Amino acid sequence: MNRPLDGLLVVSLEQAIAAPYCTRLLADNGARVIKVERPDGGDFARAYDRRARGLASHFVWTNRSKESLALDLKEPAAIEALDRIIAEADVFVQNLAPGAAARLGLDHQTLRTRHPRLITCSISGYGSGGPAERRKAYDLLIQAEAGFLSVTGTRDEMAKAGISIADIAAGVTAYQSILAALINRGRTGAGDNIEVSMLEAMAEWMGFPMYFAMDGAPPPPRNGAGHATIYPYGPYDTADGGVLFGLQNDREWAAFAEGVLLRPDMAADKRFQGNAGRADHREAIEPVIVATFAAMTSAQAVERLERAGIGTARISDMAALWAHPQLAARGRWAEIGSPAGPLPALKPVSGDGWQPRLDPVPALGQHTEAILAEFALDPTRITKGKT
């Protein structure tokens, strides 16, 4: 089966999460991704932890199906070799520190002058220009700058996301923009330059709270695992644990009041009509919900909620997610190779007519000699024994 991006060559000078996640998504769909790394340790995400059977969890997640090319870009011969490879590429991605690509002669103006069909993509914290251009931009810092922390957590304390949400937002934004540029190149024959900032990617994802609080209106309050504006929506304690559920409309409220709370009078109470009415009268509803669920086991609560047609969910930990029966039933797990041996991997979404690429996670410099030989480059001259 042909994959959508088969035959596409992507060269990426990448590290951490945002750019590696973008290029892994390209690789999932068939692109050949050559990942350029420093010989002395490579992508620093390789050393984040050793939790994935001796490998770094972030690195395993974002770097399968790639080829690792170790080059010391302080050496002119290595820069010349990289430029030779980029000349054959369709896409060049980099997320170096601001100004670093230009110092190496790998800025988009230089590259696209030499290679007009090339699509270049740079990912940074704040984008070029502006007062924040050269500021450091770790994921937590962008969560703060983009207002994410202000709406996440409890009423008493803000909280960061448990995953690298700003990096992921930037990686997905870069991925979709590269796909759009490839489609456009197919129409025009010309490459393009894409600039993605983590701040702007997160600002897009913050659209709901921004519009909610526009023109000086109060922002949505932090509400823990509940919802700032939809009610009731969130976790509740039971006699032996807890359940999580949510309501979206008056029909569900009536079913919940009658079938779960066993309070048909609350279904008919005009104070509780519309989400705004329920949210405005939380103090009258909340004690009834709390008392009802405290008197039931979790199994009893879920049975009553599902019988009433109310959306509910288990609160899974990571072990439960690995063992989730829905993922197993749909055959979503596969196996990939790695320097530590076979590892499980969640299959990417694909069409009915093709299967995603699920090739190994590379060891540092694993493909250096083969890649250099393929492009008629002398490995002994370029690597100087460093790989």
pLDDT along the chain (387 residues), means of 10: 93 96 98 96 94 96 97 92 95 92 91 94 93 89 94 89 95 98 96 96 95 92 77 90 90 94 94 91 94 93 93 86 94 96 95 94 95 89 58
Strand order in the sheet with 311-313: 233-238, 241-246, 311-313
In CATH terms, are 9-206+326-383 and 233-316 the same topology? no
- Shortest CA distance to 348 belongs to which of 324, 327, 332, 330? 332
- Which positions ≥6 away from 194 have C-beta within 8 Å? 119, 120, 121, 122, 174, 177, 178, 181
Q: C-alpha distances in angstroms, 358 versus 45, 116, 323, 335, 370?
A: 20, 31, 20, 8, 20
192: β partners: 119
Nearest to 345, CA basis, from 61, 14, 7: 61
Contact of 134 with 99, CB cutoff 8 Å: yes
φ, ψ for residue 236 (rounded to 5)? -140, 145
Task: Give, for 167, the enclosing helix (H) or strand (E).
Answer: helix 165-188
Where does 9-206+326-383 sit in CATH, by number?
Answer: 3.40.50.10540
**Catalytic residue flag (residue 167):** yes
Distance CA 186, CA 309 (A): 48
- For the chain, the domains span 9-206+326-383, 233-316
Instruction: Show the tokens assigned to 113.
Output: 């002058």
d(Cα 8, Cα 18) in Å, to the nearest integer?
A: 20
The backbone region for 53, taken as left when phi is positive above 0, alpha when psi lies in -120 to 50, beta otherwise, is: left
Terminal-residue alpha carbon distance, the chain: 35
What is the pLDDT, as a whole number, of residue 7?
A: 95
Measured distance CA(67)–CA(128) in Å, rounded: 29
Domain spanning 233-316: CATH superfamily: formyl-coa transferase, domain 3 (3.30.1540.10)
Q: Please tell me the pTM assigned to this model.
A: 0.90
Asked if 59 and 48 touch (Cβ cutoff 8 Å), the reply is yes
Helix, strand, coil distribution of the chain in percent, nearest 5: 40, 15, 40
Q: Residues 43, 167, 192, 359: which is the catalytic one?
A: 167
CA-to-CA distance for 290 and 185, rounded, in angstroms?
Answer: 58
Nearest C-alpha neighbor of 120 from the set 5, 31, 197, 12: 12
Q: What local confidence, expressed as pLDDT, does residue 92 receive?
A: 98
Count other C-beta atoms under 10 Å from residue 384's C-beta.
13
- What is the pLDDT at residue 384? 57
Q: What CA–CA distance (Å, rounded) separates 224 from 1?
A: 46
- Can you state the angle between helices 198-205 and 165-188, rounded to 10 degrees? 100
